[in-house]
Chains A and B, each alone.
Chain A
Amino acid sequence: MSGLVIASVVALGGLGVIFAIGLALANAKLAVHRDPLTQEILELLPGANCGACGLAGCAAYAEALAAGKVPANLCAPGGAELSSQLADILGVEVEDQEGAFAIVHCNRSEAKQSVDYHGIKDCKAALLVRDRIYDCEYACLGLGTCARECPFDAIVMSPEGLPIIIEEKCTACGVCARVCPKDIISVEKSTSFVHIQCCSRDKGGVARKNCRRACIACGRCAKICPVDAIEIKEFLAIIDYEKCISCGKCVGECPTGAIGNYRQMRRRKASVA
């Protein structure tokens, strides 16, 4: 009987020792040297894993930062505050980071629906069935994929089914711009106030028939622009934000009201706040 007890103890103990040695060897070979700096940076980052920095997530950005491969001002959600903190830790200088917001380039108010869609409430799913819900092929489908994907809950859907960006919450991470299957959303600097609220590349007549607020490519905005920042490409006015001074002259000139001026909206909000 005592033989059984001893054998059991020796057998199990022996196995334990063998496995322990095996694991110790494996650990020596496979050890991950984690930089404490990486950990420190990771704790500072917002942890939304939005990918605005262009890396695979906060952990990847922290690693790249610690290795000094990337600048410290890439984190859009963290903003200027975070980049200065990061700069302190890393002992580097950062350039000022300008704020930015997501901008919706569609304003299909009073546009007619060409189909009555009752399928899965998701823009990508709807696109599997048909290429449009409204008459305009380029119009926002209004099923709110961007609002659901937004990691900061900065998008709400209006009663007409258009995404509204809540700029106080928007961190310009660009997730909405990436998930939108119609490519209606883009991220623009907060110093730009004037935006084309249409992305129809239909000819003027067709665009106008489909939507009262469409860009009909008349070119009046391009003519009045004092700095030649607007160009008509594929029947759509495009603003060159490098040149645009946000004077807002084109806004009044547009016959269909397809150009939006965000200056007043932002000023109003600033005064309320």
Chain B
Amino acid sequence: MQEYTVDMGSFFAILISMVFVSNFVLARFLGLCPFIGVTKRTDSAFGMGMAVTFVMTLASAVTWLIHRYVLLAHSVTGANIFVRFIGPETSLEPVLRTISYILVIATLVQLVEMFLKKSVPALYQSLGIFLPLITTNCAVLGVALLNTTATEEVLTFPAAVFQGFCAGLGFLVVMILMSGIRERLEVLDLPEAVKGIPIALVATALMALAFTGFGGLITVP
């Protein structure tokens, strides 16, 4: 199995790529539900961004381990723990990939929810339903799939975790930018029909256009 060589350059490329070039919200259009839902105020947008970053980072780590030690065929990795039952050539990946990733994400979201309920109840209140909805946030599943299946080669463990973290960071940056814009939009004298979410979507489209400007910044290997 081929792996990326781990050097600072490729980590920097991952950072720039995940935060700007192929930002999850504005370039891949994943995770739009919390993006529109929780960006009314900066503090809750920040909290949501941090929660998603946390879930993405941990989910990247756990799903990478599952992918390598449970899903991939033994003949590819030499590390499948079920090799005795399924033989070296069979891969569980096509059967169990999505469902096991969702299991991981749901567990992590539960963990975050417990943690926030205990330590930051005010944030827990303001995030409301959007906190458990991180479970179904396609951006989190997206980063897990991207880490393990997007390319022929598989990322190394540190690179995968870093990629998850940077994807969360990109989400956080966009959430904060958007909440700033929406706090401004709030006081504008707008026609009734475009107040709230419509004008937020227009702003999103313009931001996405602006983010395409990062397009040629780096070439992802």
Contacts and interface: CB of A to CB of B under 8 A. Distances in A.
A19 B62 CA distance: 11
> Which of A19, A27, A31 lies at the interface centre, i.e. has the most chain B CB atoms within 10 A of its CB?
A19
B96 A122 contact: no
A7 B103 CA distance: 17
Interface string A1-38: 00110111011100110010011001100111000000
Contacts of B125: 59
Tell me whether chain B's interface is mostly helix, strand or loop, or mixed.
Answer: helix
Given A3-B87, A23-B111, A8 B95 contact: yes
Interface of B: 66, 70, 82, 85-87, 90, 92, 95-96, 99-100, 103-104, 107, 110-111, 114-115, 117-118, 121-122, 125, 187-189
A100 to B, nearest CB: 28
Contacts of B189: 120-121
Given A19-B103, A121-B189, A11 B90 contact: no
Interface residues of A, number: 24
Given A19-B104, A30-B118, A12 B111 contact: no
Contacts of B104: 15, 19
Contacts of B100: 11-12, 15
B117 A30 contact: yes
Given A19-B107, A121-B189, A12 B115 contact: no
A125 interface: yes
A255 to B, nearest CB: 40
A4 B114 contact: no
A4 B92 contact: yes
B99 A12 contact: yes
Contacts of B118: 30-32
Given A3-B90, A7-B85, A27-B114, A16 B103 contact: yes
A44 interface: no
A224 interface: no
Given A12-B103, A120-B187, A3 B86 contact: yes
4 closest A-B pairs by beta carbon, nearest first, are: A19-B107, A30-B114, A7-B82, A30-B118
A158 B117 CA distance: 45
A22 B106 CA distance: 12
A7 B86 contact: yes
A56 interface: yes
Interface string A98-139: 000000000000000000000011100100000000000000
A4 B87 CA distance: 9
29 contacts: A3-B85, A3-B86, A3-B90, A4-B86, A4-B95, A7-B82, A7-B86, A10-B85, A11-B70, A11-B92, A12-B96, A12-B99, A12-B103, A15-B100, A15-B104, A19-B107, A22-B107, A23-B107, A23-B110, A26-B111, A26-B114, A26-B115, A30-B117, A31-B114, A32-B117, A59-B125, A120-B189, A122-B187, A125-B187
Given A3-B86, A16-B103, A8 B115 contact: no
Contact of A10 (B82, B107, B114, B117): B82
A22 B66 CA distance: 16
Contacts of A15: 66, 70, 100, 103-104
A26 B189 CA distance: 48
A11 B96 contact: yes
Contacts of B187: 120, 122, 125
Contacts of B107: 19, 22-23
Interface in A59-111: 59
Contacts of A120: 187-189
Contacts of A6: 85
Contacts of B121: 32, 59
A207 to B, nearest CB: 31
Contacts of B114: 23, 26-27, 30-31
Given A3-B85, A6-B85, A120-B187, 13 more contacts: A4-B86, A4-B95, A10-B85, A11-B70, A11-B96, A15-B100, A19-B103, A23-B110, A26-B111, A31-B118, A32-B117, A32-B121, A56-B122
A234 B122 CA distance: 42
B103 A8 contact: no
A121 B189 CA distance: 7
Contacts of A22: 107, 111
Nearest to A49: B125
A11 B111 CA distance: 22
A53 to B, nearest CB: 16
Contacts of B90: 3-4, 7
Contact of A11 (B82, B110, B122): B82
